[in-house]
Structure 1
Amino acid sequence: MRDTILMTCGTSLIGNAGRAIGKELASSPDSLLRWLRTLDVSDKSCGAEINGLACMIEELPDTLDPIEVILYVSDTDDGILVGKVLETVIPEKFDVSKVKLVRIEGLNPKHPDTFRRRGLRNLVMRLADDVKQKGRPRCIINATGGFKVEVGLAQELASAVGIPSYYKFEFSSKGMLVPPMPVGLDIGLWLRLNKSMESLENEPLRKRDLDKLMEPICDEHDRERFLMLLEDVPLEKGDRLYDISALGELFRVLARNAFWEREVDFMPPPVSPDEKAEKVQHSNSEEHLLHFEARHGIGEKLLEIPFVSKVRSHYYKKSGWTMNRCHVKDRSEKELEVEWGNDMGLIKYILTVPKARGEEQLQAASLHISEKLKTL
């Protein structure tokens, strides 16, 4: 049974209330709440959120045992007003013990560029994070309320992460459960583009910086598809600013989830015992480096990974900071670099992955090791 309902929210409730009790009272949380309490959940004046939730609970008794409802509201005064009122009234009208309000930063239509570039991406990321935190078997998305593009993205994300979604038709008293669809996805493309897309996570890039970022993407078709996952904003003097689009964020969520579910399918083949080095090599015999390695044994643990044949330390700095990451160092030599550190020091290793077949397996190996480093 699914007990967590993730629900996109709009602001039609305020318009409905304005027509019933006047705009001034409709803008007051207390007045809006008092009016809403007088209505039955089937009354269309309640708005898409309550109508959709009521139909959903009634129509899906074998699927739902709702405990928590998470409301995703726009970054507007009206959106927050509706969210706070729903946060209060939903536990009164439904057998739900917890309602959580989430404001989606940037989801404000008065600022179209921010709405498109940040708001929709933030919605996708927050929905995906909550599904991951709660667990897919517990979640269902109600995508009845909100902007049309918001509803569409929520439904797409439901398919992306493998959970059902529900939509109530405005012209009907019934709704529709949309099961997750098996979506064909090129996980290899995600592996090849992942590092470049990660570089765009925190801030957009100008055209010249984007060109530099794309230099490692050798295949022209991959470059074209990479650009399809971005959106650009015109700047002065003909320059443009590039950022991950909402579609690009959906692609990342879907591909990342699919990769970790099938991680073993993308790993390089293991090396034979004859190919495996007996011990970690060190580029120098500095006492502090050897002491650091002896104490933590990171190199030895990396050498135990089945597809790694050699591990060589090539850098050490006494006193460091917490770090654990891996990236492709040299494609032609099939080498990865690992950086691992704490307050005692920072050490870097070169790992050889001789049987990696192409960019995809090198990137998959890098992701696998990055995840493994978190537990060391």
Structure 2
Amino acid sequence: MPTIITTTGTSLLSNASRELNKQRGESFADNELQNYFKNVGAEKASAETKSLLKIASPEDEVVLLYTKTHNGELCAREVYRYLKSKKWSNIRLRELPLEENEAQFERRGLRELVNILIEEITKAQRENQEVIINATGGFKAEIAYTTIVGMIFQVPVKYIYQFFQEPVTFPTLPISWNVNLLLEYEDFFAWIDEEPRKDVEVEQRLKAIPKLERNQVQQLLLPADENDEIMLSAAGDILWKRVAQQRELAELIEDAPPSEIPNADKIASSIAEDKHHFPKGTREFAKKVAQVEAVEEIIGGHFENTTMKRIKKIDDDGSIRLLWADNEKAVNITIRTTARGQAQTLKLRDRYIRPLLK
């Protein structure tokens, strides 16, 4: 049974007001909107019912997300009533506490939308249900961020333009979204995700990040507010929660299989024989990495002018790139493993490789 997560807007009120010649702000009598459904038909009455009739069936689970406004709640409840009257049995309403205050909408409202969408996606996936996002209803920013969540969490998004008869599907992308920046500086992202942080504290922590990456990190933050506080943007929040979801998934999947390569043969000769004046401890570090069963090869790369040890990148093919450093310089090291996919590679990174950098 699929779960259809549906954003709801106020198209029902707009359509009914126009059709029934209502004055601006004029209210509707009891059952007037239900009678409107019956008179004009569900496809014409609202964008939500038009899309659901094309996308879902009465047996599916439908979650109607509505904004915390009088009109938003009214429309959602009338759509709910209509579908219930047509024997749609698995429907529930969920309020989106989106801020009407323009200044707070970007800071709070969009993050709440993102959090609730991801919560509903995760809930359905835990129950092994197919998930579809129906982004036909709602205002433009809501639809835009709903689509971004779907793409990053690899959930298909469906949308019906007002003049179309059939839904357009934004398919899941056949790639994993690059979350390496968040993994590389995960201590920073975990810290700022806990609560809004003072501008001066954020600036101090950002100084420890190289300039290029610092600029990329700042793109995932909102500007300081009137209280001089900074928090993750909605886009940053989506990516950070994707990392958390992949970690949760990693705990449910098998470990990467052991390599058949002997430990001594896993280390490239340039490291084993210390041919390039690597940072102190490189060979000893490589020997420890080689003891990890899933590791197949450890290769040295170019040097960098930093003294910060950190994991820089993981790839779906199981490779892990990191920096090993002493007090003078750092060397890039690539570790090839038997892991496959982002979740399994992340599990190997977290459980076996990252502790060796401490």
Q: Are the counterparts in 1 of residues 179 and 239 from structure 2 also a CA contact under 8 Å?
A: no
Q: 2:80 and 2:145 mapped to 1: Cα distance?
A: 23
User: Counterpart of 2:186 in 1: which secondary structure?
Assistant: helix
1:71 aligns with 2:77: no
* Structure 2 segments unaligned to the other structure (5+ residues): 264-290, 294-307, 312-319, 325-333, 336-345, 353-358
Evaluate the alpha carbon distance shift between residue 27 and residue 112 of structure 1 in structure 2; reply closer, same or farther with a 3 A threshold.
Answer: farther
1:333 positional shift: 11
Measured after TM superposition, the shift of residue 364 of structure 1 is: 6.5
In structure 1, distance between residues paired with 2:321 and 2:248: 18
Alpha-carbon distance change, 202 to 100 in structure 1, aligned in 2, over 3 angstroms = farther
Q: Distance in 2 between matches of 1:137 and 1:91?
A: 22
> Is 1:228 aligned to residue 239 of structure 2?
no
3-state DSSP class of the match of 2:88? coil
How far has the Cα of 1:77 moved from its partner? 1.4
State the match for 2:123 in structure 1: 133
1:85 aligns with 2:78: yes
**Residues 182 and 189 of structure 2 are in contact (CA less than 8 Å); yes or no, is this contact kept in structure 1?**
no
Q: CA deviation digits over 1:137-173, x for unaligned, max 9?
A: 4211101000111111112211211121111011122
Using the TM superposition, give the Cα deviation of residue 178 of structure 1 relative to its aligned residue in structure 2, in angstroms: 2.1
Q: How many angstroms apart in 2 are the aligned matches of 1:122 and 1:259?
A: 22
Does 1:206 pair with 2:198?
yes
**Would the alpha carbon gap of residues 40 and 113 (structure 1) be closer, same or farther in structure 2, given more than 3 Å must change?**
same
What's the CA shift string for 1:230-258, capped at 9, x where partnerless? 1114538xxx4322111112222334445
Q: 1:333 to 1:195 in 2, by over 3 A?
A: closer
Which residue type is aligned with residue 81 of structure 2? Answer: T
Matched, 1:241 2:223: no
Cα gap change, 1:195/1:30 in structure 2, threshold over 3 Å: closer, same or farther? Answer: farther
- Which residue of 1 is the match for residue 93 of structure 2? 101
Question: Where do 1:356-371 residues align within 5 Å?
Answer: 357-358=322-323, 368=351
Moved more, 113-122 or 198-207: 198-207
Counterparts in 2 of 1:28 and 1:266: CA distance versus 1, 3 Å = farther
Does the CA contact (< 8 Å) of 2:10 and 2:72 recur in 1?
yes
**Which residue, 179, 183, 187 being the options, matches 1:187?**
179
- Alpha-carbon deviations, 1:195-214, whole Å to 9, x = none? 32222334322310212343
The CA RMSD measured in Å over matched residues stands at: 3.9
Distance 2:184 2:255 in 1: 12
Please tell me whether the aligned partners of residues 159 and 182 of structure 1 are also in contact (alpha carbons under 8 angstroms): no
1:147–1:193 CA distance, 2 compared to 1 (3 A): farther
CA-to-aligned-CA distance 1:79-136 (integer Å, 9 cap, x gap): 111122222212223x52121111111x13x311221111111111111111111116
Tell me the equivalent position of 1:122: 112
Q: Does the CA-based 8 Å contact 1:161-1:253 persist in structure 2?
A: no
TM superposition score normalised by structure 2:
0.66
Q: Deviations over 1:266-292 (max 9, x none)?
A: 99x99x99xxxxxxxxxxxxxxxxxxx
State the distance in 1 between where 2:27 and 2:34 align: 9
SS at match of 1:38: helix
Q: Matched residues, percent identical?
A: 22
Per the alignment, in what secondary structure is the counterpart of residue 200 of structure 1? helix
TM-score (structure 1 length as normaliser): 0.63
Give secondary structure in 2 for the equivalent of 1:195: helix
State the 1:3 CA deviation: 1.8
Name the aligned partner's letter for residue 194 of structure 1: E
Task: Give, in whole Å, the separation in 2 of the partners of 1:66 and 1:141.
Answer: 16
Cα distance, 1:73 vs. partner?
0.8
Displacement of 1:31? 3.1
* Partner AA of 2:107 in structure 1: R
Runs (5+) with no aligned partner, structure 1: 58-63, 274-305, 309-330, 335-354, 370-376
- Whether the aligned pair in 2 keeps the contact of 1:18 and 1:26 (CA below 8 Å) is no
Q: CA deviation at 1:29?
A: 5.9
